[in-house]
Chain A
Amino acid sequence: MMQVHTAELMVTRESRECSAVSPPEDELVSRVLRGEEAAFTEIVALFQNRLFNFVRSRVRNRELAEDITQEVFVKAYYNLDRLRDPARFKCWLFSIAHNHLRDLARRRKIETVDTEESGIEHYVDKATPQSVDDRERTAAMVRAALSRLKPEQREILVLCDIEGMAYKEISQAMGIPLGTVQSRIFYARRRLKEVLTDEMGFAGEEI
Chain B
Amino acid sequence: MKCSEIRIHLGALVDGEIRDPALLGKLERHLGACSECRRELEAQRAVKGLLARLEPERTSAVMPTRVMQAIKDGGRKRQPLVLRPAYVAAVVAVLILLAGGLFAIQPRPAAMREVESSGLYKELPVGEAREYMSSLLPPGAGQATYSNVSDFVVASHEEAREVLEAEEGWSPLLQEIAESVSEAEGEELYKELPGDDAAEEDDSEGD
Contacts and interface: CB of A to CB of B under 8 A. Distances in A.
Q: Do A and B come from one complex?
A: yes
A103 B56 CA distance: 25
Contacts of A130: none
Contacts of A79: 78-79, 84
Q: Which of B59, B60, B110 has the most CB of A within 10 A?
A: B59
Contact of A6 (B28, B52, B59, B79): B28
Interface string A65-106: 110011001100111111000000000000000000001001
Interface in A171-200: 182-183, 185-186, 189-190, 192-193, 196
B8 interface: yes
A78 B63 CA distance: 17
Contact of B13 (A9, A74, A157): A9
Nearest to A53: B56
Contacts of A77: 67, 71, 78
Contacts, number: 169
A49 B57 CA distance: 7
Chain B interface, >50% SS class: helix
Interface in B59-76: 59-60, 63-64, 66-68, 70-71, 74, 76
Interface residues of A, number: 65
Contacts of B79: 78-79
B201 interface: yes
Given A11-B16, A166-B17, A3 B78 contact: no
Given A9-B31, A10-B13, A189 B67 contact: no
Nearest to B60: A66
Contacts of A146: 51
A45 interface: yes
Interface residues of B, number: 57
Interface of A: 1-6, 9-13, 15, 37, 40-42, 44-45, 48-50, 52-53, 56, 65-66, 69-70, 73-74, 77-82, 103, 106-107, 109, 135, 138-139, 142-143, 146, 157, 160-162, 164, 166-167, 182-183, 185-186, 189-190, 192-193, 196, 204, 206-207
Interface of B: 7-19, 24, 27-28, 31-33, 38, 40-41, 43-60, 63-64, 66-68, 70-71, 74, 76, 78-79, 81, 84, 110, 197-198, 201
